């Protein structure tokens, strides 16, 4: 499938959806505390998205039941909101997609609940730092595989490993479009395949494991953990290539 090149007006439409995502994430982050359930977070997220004129694009997507992916501790991505009650020292990933006027935005953060360990602070910092590092490196003309290789090297240098089998992605008229953007280099050659071009819009989302990157899907058929059974983290932004560089769309 060809990678879409967006006009300035189309990028503005994706940015409008992405801004609702950012506002919702900030709203939910302020509500996080011990004693709140994942279902309550999900309900608040859906209500807030709709109050902004958007629709929660994850709800019903591929059969997902919630509006917000709520991934606690060992769950790295795709956590299903349920009656689990957050506790002091937990970490939780919030991943949100929004449709607004037929266009889509997507972003994710990982947050600590109350006081968390230094190890978990560093784990979360890895995914956030990897995301912003990757965004800073994006230039029109580079290969997507080069970006994947840079992400992998950054994560490994931090002392962690990327989750295998899952990736960032294009976004626009659909929540997931071409290209797929792994957080690791597939094969040995980075300078091959599709190139990043002016007007492309896509999501970068480092997913961090501690020891092993092999994924395991839990009984709910959604929650993804590492085969090492340890905690993970996840950060994501929607970006557009404007004037040869990446500009973050999923921010207030």
The 10s digit of each residue's pLDDT in 103-149 is 999 999 999 999 999 999 999 999 999 999 999 999 999 999 999 99
26 within a domain of the structure (yes/no)? yes
pLDDT band at 1 (very low <50, low <70, confident <90, very high): confident
pLDDT in tens, 59-75: 999 999 999 999 999 99
pLDDT in tens, 152-210: 999 999 999 999 999 999 999 999 999 999 999 998 899 999 999 999 999 999 999 99
Known binding-site residues for substrate equal 78, 176
Confidence (pLDDT) at 170: 98
Number of domains in the chain: 1
234 within a domain of the structure (yes/no)? yes
Confidence (pLDDT) at 128: 98
131 within a domain of the structure (yes/no)? yes
Is the pTM higher than 0.95? The answer reads: yes
Confidence (pLDDT) at 142: 98
pLDDT at 22 over 90: yes
CATH number of the domain residue 221 falls in: 3.90.230.10
Query: Residues 92-112: what's their mean pLDDT?
Result: 98
73: domain range? 8-248
Confidence (pLDDT) at 188: 84
**Nearest partner of 216 among 96, 119, 74, judged by Cα:** 74
pLDDT band at 212 (very low <50, low <70, confident <90, very high): very high
Contact present, 163 and 205 (Cβ < 8 Å): no
Known binding-site residues equal 78, 95, 106, 169, 176, 205, 236
Burial of 40 (0-12, 13-18, 19+ CB in 10 A): middle
Pairing of strands 167-170, 201-204: antiparallel
1 within a domain of the structure (yes/no)? no
Q: What is the spatial distance between Cα 15 and Cα 21, in angstroms, rounded to a whole number? A: 10
Known binding-site residues for a divalent metal cation equal 95, 106, 169, 205, 236
State the average pLDDT for the chain: 98
3 within a domain of the structure (yes/no)? no
Query: Residues 41-53: what's their mean pLDDT?
Result: 98
40 within a domain of the structure (yes/no)? yes
Q: What is the spatial distance between Cα 237 and Cα 105, in angstroms, rounded to a whole number? A: 9
């Amino acid at each position: 499938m060809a990678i879409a090149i967006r006009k300035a007006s189309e990028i503005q439409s994706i940015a409008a959806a992405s801004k609702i995502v950012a506002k919702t994430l900030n709203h939910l982050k302020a509500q996080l505390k011990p004693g709140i359930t994942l279902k309550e977070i999900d309900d608040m997220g859906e209500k807030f998205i709709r109050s902004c004129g958007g629709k929660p694009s994850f709800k019903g997507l591929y059969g997902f039941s919630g509006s917000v992916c709520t991934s606690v501790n060992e769950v790295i991505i795709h956590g299903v909101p349920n009656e689990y009650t957050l506790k002091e020292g937990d970490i939780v990933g919030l991943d949100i997609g929004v449709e607004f006027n037929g266009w889509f935005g997507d972003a994710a953060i990982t947050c600590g609940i109350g006081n968390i360990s230094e190890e978990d602070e560093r784990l979360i910092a890895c995914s956030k730092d990897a995301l912003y590092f990757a965004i800073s490196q994006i230039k029109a003309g580079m290969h997507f595989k080069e970006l994947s290789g840079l992400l992998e090297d950054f994560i490994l240098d931090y002392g962690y490993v990327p989750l295998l089998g899952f990736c960032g992605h294009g976004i626009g008229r659909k929540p997931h479009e071409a290209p797929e953007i792994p957080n690791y280099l597939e094969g040995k050659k980075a300078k091959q395949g599709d190139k990043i071009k002016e007007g492309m819009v896509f999501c970068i989302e480092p997913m961090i494991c501690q020891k092993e990157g092999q994924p395991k899907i839990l009984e709910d058929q959604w929650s993804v953990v590492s085969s090492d059974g340890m905690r993970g983290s996840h950060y994501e932004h929607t970006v557009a290539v404007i004037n040869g560089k990446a500009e973050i769309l999923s921010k207030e």
